[in-house]
Structure 1
Amino acid sequence: MTSQPSASQPRASRLPPSGPSCCEEFAQVGLSRRGFLGGAMATGVATTFGSTVVQVASAPGADAAPAPARAVMVVLSLRGAADGLSLVVPHGDPVYARARPRIAVPAERLLAKDDFFGLHPSLAPLLGMWDSGRMAAVHAAGLPARNRSHFSAMEELEAAAPGSATRSGWLNRLIGADRNPSPLQALQLGGGTPPAALYGPQPFLSASSIENVKLAGADQWDTRKGRPRSLRTLWASQKDGLGAAMQAAFTAVDTFEPARTSSTTPSHGATYPGNDLGRALAQVARVVRSGVGTEVVTVDHGDWDMHTDVGNLEWGAMKRNAGEVAGALAAFFTDLGPLGDTVTVVCLSEFGRRVVENANWGLDHGYGTVMLLLGAGVRGGYHGRWPGLSAGPDSDLLVTTDYRSVLAEVVRARFATSTASVFPGFTPSRVGAMVGQ
């Protein structure tokens, strides 16, 4: 058993220096996902330009210029299994404080508190959105069955079709519904492998940054633009699948130019935190402003695998991570200004943490967690059906809301799309977290 410091002791020296905090599986999940995505779900053709990947379908029309966006949805994945009981605290459940004698958030410090729930104080930058009814929390949400494996749970969450023979991600099915998509309709920003939610027959774009959405070598040294001209000439005569993929990639790069060359200065006085999530969301805002037809953007944030050092309000990984998310999202909506009325952000995680804290000021793999919705179409407040907590050593927050029911409301409200093709074989239950649903 690890010896424990006092709650008031400065914590900087106790935090993990970098990378995943515990699970070897989580440390390897990027590699595991990459191997998985290289298999059955990657049914299109991937064309790589430098650090940019354009995944294109073999179907006709994949090289079409994008139509105007119907809406914009940003899916923010909290990788590593975020503890919903810390982010949105059920202070009205008497088991909560007893199960977490050192890491429970005191009820008197909670924000937006009602008789039962309250927000973690590190979410303070989002309090304005909450008070204006533009932020919602759906508690006790998650997968239909327990799955404590990061890799397996991520795969299930992002396929969103358990028991189905479908081998594509839910976002790929969404962008293919009711229209012929272009590679710019869905975008993954940041390092690492694109999420399984995007993989399938429909095209999408993946880039470490929007500045990298260009032809490799097409830089200041190519003063006569010879490389792009040569590449286009080379592939113009190719009529096979690879030739079609290259033509689609050229179209994507050309059409994305307004986003790539847009101003890097945030609007409306927004100031982004200087972390990876802040930088990623600053680029998402540039994409939205440029109007290149992007409807779906995925961004990852981690590490939420807090087997150790969850901490309290003075120190710890929860305070740090919650603050990073809140600061970045608040800056994002400030930056967008009125355009924020066209954007919905969905925050979700593969599963939650146990009810009872462990010996290392941490929490082990659990089940239910919380989903956060922000922006356009959101009906603010607390949603979901509370199952009650128990304090056994392996006790979980049970799931009373299938996460697909929440996503289905977003899909219907924002994209006016039937959910039957996006979530095959699933009948959503009403959650009420989106206006009109």
Structure 2
Amino acid sequence: MTTSPLPAGPRAVAPAGSPCCAEYAGLSRRGLFRGLALAGATTAIGSAVVTASPARAASASSVLVVVSLRGAADGLSLVVPHGDPAYYRARPRIAVPSESLLAKDAMFGLHPQLSPLLPLWTSGRLAAIQATGLPVANRSHFSAMEELEDAAPGSTARVGWLNRLIGGDADASPLEGLHVGLGVVPTSLYGGAPVFAVKDVDSVEIPGADQYDTTGGRPRSLRTLWGGDTSPLGRGVRATFDSVQGFAPVQRAVDRRGRYPSTDLGRALADVARVVRGDVGVEVVTVDQGDWDMHTNLGTLEWGDMRRNAADLAGSVAAFFDDLGPTGDKVTMVVLSEFGRRVVENSNQGLDHGYGNVMLVAGAGVRGGRYYGRWPGLDTTLDADLLVTTDYRQVLGEVVASRFADASVARVFPGLSYDPVGFMRTA
């Protein structure tokens, strides 16, 4: 396999839990923060990580939410090719029965645990694009994550595609780009434009600004200490002060977490909904769902990791759009994973690392209720992959072109010969 050469720097975030692959074991939170510190000026105050720039909040007309299924989700289980007989020959124990599928057409159907998404599907706000992926197969989780999120094959520049989307302007507000989760900036957001990362929205605060500081003296002291510092760290600290202040409307937004699954993804998307309703100028948001590396115990309809994760994904996404109500008319969500799984099940009722996958797109601008992509057919040889017929950047590029009028697909995805798939409405 071949991948684009990349310099040392921040790595992608590993899924939570105990993954099957030893590849995850070498990645530490300390290493992530060290990578961020080496690659550019960042500031961590409270639970927030901010790259240096003043914050100037402004309303966003379009919001893109990117949900990354960390660990390589099996798209052939989520959106099942029941019309391809090779699928059932390849998976005698873990295949999803055709009669159980939802939203079936002649070839595809949704996993039954995705039933909370049916209202989005039937209302034309959810689409699936099959046989998507990287231009060249890459079965290393973290190398593939970085390649996917840089989205600039052959480039050594340390800039992610979402950072290019929000403009690459060092004087922009950090609040335009946000990660909700571990408080670590993912590769897709990293670059010249300042961004913001939080563990959760309620814990964004200046240390010491609590109920015991009745006069506000501690934050004033910190501002005095760093107010005249012209170093990158000083600029980063001041940017954090401004960002925390600008983030306040999000914290005042109603918390409807009780409507969501009680999971990491559910809690994160509940926070993202508050961010959208707070309307502080956030344009792009990233969220992770982990534990998709199912080498063992992928399971059946009655038990297993796929049943659990699919239910969490569907329940969380459905609750998110329900929570937003009419405000969701400006939100588009993309769900993707670093690569797919092999066609043929292994001896542990799981699947090993593969290639092609499915992408889901929901919300504003989507021509939903349909399956898109050119199906290449499946093979049942031991190492068979779902081949990629649509470069994943074509999918992301179509979202960018449809939802961000001032953005250039050529700048966001350098070297891509853009060819729309057709799942988004034109402006």
Same fold (TM over 0.5): yes
The residue number in structure 2 matching 1:4 is none
Matching of residue 260 in structure 1 with residue 251 in structure 2: yes
Look up the match of 1:421: 411
Determine the C-alpha separation between the residues in 1 that align with 2:27 and 2:82: 33
Cα distance between partner residues in 2 of 1:55 and 1:327: 33
> Are residue 49 (structure 1) and residue 79 (structure 2) matched?
no
After the TM superposition, which residues 39-78 of structure 1 pair with which residues of structure 2 at under 5 Å, given as runs?
A: 42-43=39-40, 45-56=41-52, 62-78=53-69
Partner SS for 1:420: helix
Structure 1 stretches of 4+ moved >6 Å? none
**In 1, are the aligned partners of 2:50 and 2:174 still within 8 Å (CA)?**
yes
- Counterpart in the other structure of 1:411: 400
In structure 2, how many angstroms separate the alpha carbons of the residues matched to 1:312 and 1:32?
37
Q: Which amino acid aligns with 2:342?
A: R
1:91 corresponding residue in structure 2: 82
Contact 1:30/1:193 (8 A) holds in 2:
no
Picking from 269, 273, 278, the partner of 1:290 is 278
Aligned: 1:435 with 2:425: yes
Q: For residue 409 of structure 1, what is the amino acid of its counterpart?
A: E
Pair 1:323-2:321 in alignment: no
Q: Match for 1:162 among 131, 153, 176?
A: 153
**2:236 is equivalent to residue 245 of structure 1:** yes
* Identity fraction in percent: 60
2:408 partner amino acid = S
**TM-score when scaled to structure 2?**
0.92
Query: Which of 322, 331, 338 is 1:334 aligned to?
Result: 322
| Structure 1 residue 51: Cα displacement | 2.2
Distance 1:39-1:402 versus aligned 2 partners, 3 A rule: farther
* RMSD value, Cα: 1.9
Instruction: Provide the secondary structure at the position in 2 that maps to 1:395.
Output: coil
1:364 to 352, 362, 368: 352
**1:253–1:422 Cα change, 3 Å:** same
Q: CA deviation at 1:240?
A: 3.3
Could you tell me which residue of structure 1 aligns to residue 4 of structure 2? Answer: none
**One of 207, 210, 214 as aligned partner of 2:201:** 210
Match of 1:25, as an amino acid? E
Give yes or no for contact 1:32–1:151 (8 Å, CA) kept in 2: no
Distance in 2 separating the partners of 1:30 and 1:404? 29
Contact 2:68 2:336 (C-alpha < 8 Å) held by counterparts: yes
SS in 2 for 1:392: coil
Counterpart of 1:355? 343
Whether the aligned pair in 2 keeps the contact of 1:20 and 1:305 (CA below 8 Å) is no
Give the structure 1 partner of residue 389 of structure 2: 400
Does 1:19 find its partner at 2:26?
no
**What residue in structure 2 maps to residue 221 of structure 1?**
212
Could you tell me which of 375, 394, 398 is aligned with 1:386?
A: 375
- CA–CA distance in 1 between the matches of 2:93 and 2:210? 55
Partner of 2:189: 198
Q: Return the alpha-carbon distance in structure 2 between the equivalents of residues 139 and 33 of structure 1.
A: 35
Q: Secondary structure at the match of 1:108?
A: helix
- CA distances 1:364-420 after superposition (whole Å, capped 9, x unpaired): 000000000010111111011101100000000000010000000111111111111
Q: State yes or no: 1:310 paired with 2:301.
A: no
CA distance in 1, matches of 2:31, 2:299: 30
Paired residue for 1:187, among 178, 194, 198?
178
Q: How many Å separate the matches in 2 of 1:36 and 1:169?
A: 18
Gaps of 5+ in 2: 1-15
Structure-2 separation of matches of 1:422 and 1:186? 15
C-alpha distance in 1, partners of 2:292/2:418? 28
**Counterpart-to-counterpart distance in 2, 1:327 and 1:371:** 17
The TM-score, its normalising length taken from structure 1, stands at 0.90
Secondary structure of the residue aligned to 2:218 is helix
Q: Displacement of 1:181 after TM fit? A: 2.3
The aligned amino acid for 1:227 is: R
In 1, distance between residues paired with 2:190 and 2:168? 14
- Contact persistence 2:47–2:205 (CA under 8 A): no
Unaligned runs of 5+ in 1: 1-17, 57-61
1:19 positional shift:
1.7
Q: Which residue of 2 aligns with 1:7?
A: none
Report the residue type matching 1:19 in the other structure: G
Distance in 1 between the 2:91 and 2:30 partners?
A: 33
Give distance in 2, aligned partners of 1:398 and 1:39: 38
Q: CA deviation at 1:82?
A: 0.4
* Residues in 1 aligned to 2:364 and 2:26: alpha-carbon distance in whole angstroms: 35
Is 1:38 paired with 2:43?
no
The number of residues matched between the two structures is 410
Contact preservation (8 Å) 2:177, 2:282 = yes
Equivalent position of 1:10 in the other structure:
none
Distance 1:144 1:239 in 2: 43
- In structure 1, C-alpha distance between the alignment counterparts of 2:221 and 2:286, rounded to whole Å: 33
Give the Å deviation of 1:36.
Answer: 8.3
Residue 178 of structure 1 deviates from its aligned partner by: 8.2
CA distance in 1 between counterparts of 2:269 and 2:286 reads: 10
- Write the deviation string for residues 47-79 of structure 1: whole angstroms up to 9, x where unpaired: 1112211112xxxxx314123213111110000
Does the 8 Å CA contact 1:53/1:205 hold for their aligned counterparts? yes
